[in-house]
Amino acid sequence: MNIADITASIVRIAAKIPYRMGPMEDGGDEYYGLIVTVTTDQGVKGYGEVFLTPGWYAPDTPMGMIGIVERTFAPALKGVCVMDTERVVAVMDKAWELGNLFAKSAVEMAVHDAAARSIGRSVCDLMGGRVRDRFALSGGVGHDTPDRMAATAKKLVDRGFRTIKLKIGAKTDPEFDVVRVRTVREEIGPDIKLRLDGNGVFTVPEAIRLIRKLEPYDLEHVEQPVPGWNVDGMAEIRSKIGAPLMADESVHSVQDAMRVVKAGAADAVKIKIAKTGGYRRSQQIAAICASAGVDVLIGQGIGTSLQALAELHFACSHAAVKPAAEFIGSDKLTDDILKSPMTIEDGHALLPEGPGCGIEVDERKLESLGVSFSAKRAA
């Protein structure tokens, strides 16, 4: 059960409708993901996936991630037993100390998948066993006109989603966000939970003014209104608003979680396994937050079913993680890399049976949806 090979590739999949957020004035038409495959000396394959947003959400670039996976982590991990997941993390950290958490996360996911498949158990079992077998999801709605955002939200509610998340951030006209939120709340009614996400586009005074105007619409929480580095700003906002505040971009590492907790900068923290560097670090962050009375949520808003199921296994094996999650798999995409996408039933993701993450990757889709990157030499 030793690692024999590790490879990385990039997939590109069109979105059903553009999913725009934060500083994005346009775009959101396509999803890019890094897919890592770990193969053991017994021929067992495990898969991991992280989303790509180079230059905005994280510094990791596609070519850099492929390079570090195949040229640094692959040789360093060759011969390591896939069951030794703690050793895998330690070897990667020794081989490359300067972060690159997204690449490390994809490798660690794939190792867990391969390890669980090798013994005929689920990834959930490797992390302590299941505490639930389904998990409520949040339906995400990106930047759009108020009427279109309301229509999208209503479709999600009609499918059984009981929590809706809206992207906000109309910097040129803050009142536009008020109209968006009001229109959606009127459409979905008072019984559906409504959460907002600013993706760090506001200043502290802007965030305080806007959130106060939005509080009458019964907000579950407001996520990351100011840039991730501004933990003191998050604490100031939290002290001056009535709605709960959630940190996302402010927490990429265990140390970040400690800073946020000590500063009293959030009522909740959102884990994305991609940004935190994998399962191990996500477990540590969850423990820190839970011990401090800070809620723990999870989910990446867009990705294939592979990435979603990795987060579903984490959510279903950790009681501290609270619903609703944002890992809706390929629901926002026109295609998937799995033969059977993640099952969503009445607004809940269902934990699949079977070894590993319980999935079967469609190798033909993985090839057909793959893209290559090349660096152009300066003239």
> 140-165 pLDDT, tens per residue?
999 899 999 999 999 999 999 999 99
Return the minimum-mean-pLDDT range out of 51-60, 119-128, 262-271: 51-60
Whether 244 and 264 have beta carbons less than 8 Å apart is answered as no
Whether 260 and 266 have beta carbons less than 8 Å apart is answered as yes
Q: What is the pLDDT of residue 374?
A: 55
d(CA 308, CA 298): 10
375 pLDDT tier (thresholds 50, 70, 90): very low
Q: What is the pLDDT of residue 55?
A: 58
Percent of the chain with pLDDT over 90: 83
d(CA 333, CA 31): 8
Q: What is the pLDDT of residue 261?
A: 98
Strands 348-350 and 344-345: antiparallel
Q: What is the pLDDT of residue 373?
A: 64
Return the minimum-mean-pLDDT range out of 58-62, 120-124, 190-194, 335-339: 58-62
CATH fold label, 127-350: TIM Barrel (3.20.20)
- Is domain 3-125+363-371 annotated with CATH 3.30.390.10? yes
Average pLDDT, the chain: 93
Q: What is the pLDDT of residue 183?
A: 98
CATH 3.30.390.10 domain locations along the chain: 3-125+363-371
Whether 149 and 180 have beta carbons less than 8 Å apart is answered as yes
CATH 3.20.20.120 domain locations along the chain: 127-350
* 312 against 100, higher pLDDT: 312
* 24 against 175, higher pLDDT: 175
Structure tokens at 6: 């590790």
Q: What is the pLDDT of residue 379?
A: 36
Encode pLDDT of 129-140 as tens digits.
999 999 999 999
28 pLDDT tier (thresholds 50, 70, 90): confident
63 pLDDT tier (thresholds 50, 70, 90): confident
What are the beta bridge partners of residue 122?
A: 356
Percent of the chain with pLDDT over 70: 95
Return the minimum-mean-pLDDT range out of 103-117, 211-225, 298-312: 298-312
3-state secondary structure of 245: strand
Confidence check: pLDDT of 361 > 90: yes
Confidence check: pLDDT of 308 > 90: yes
Whether 146 and 180 have beta carbons less than 8 Å apart is answered as yes
**Interior angle at CA 135, CA 15 and CA 311, nearest 5:** 60
221, containing H or E segment:
strand 219-223
Q: What is the pLDDT of residue 26?
A: 56
Kindly report the number of other CB atoms within 10 A of residue 26's CB atom: 8
Interval 346-370 mean pLDDT: 94
Whether 168 and 198 have beta carbons less than 8 Å apart is answered as yes
Interval 228-233 mean pLDDT: 97
Interval 195-208 mean pLDDT: 96
Q: What is the pLDDT of residue 378?
A: 37
Structure tokens at 363: 């190798």
d(CA 249, CA 233): 13
d(CA 90, CA 50): 20
Confidence check: pLDDT of 6 > 70: yes
Q: What is the pLDDT of residue 377?
A: 40
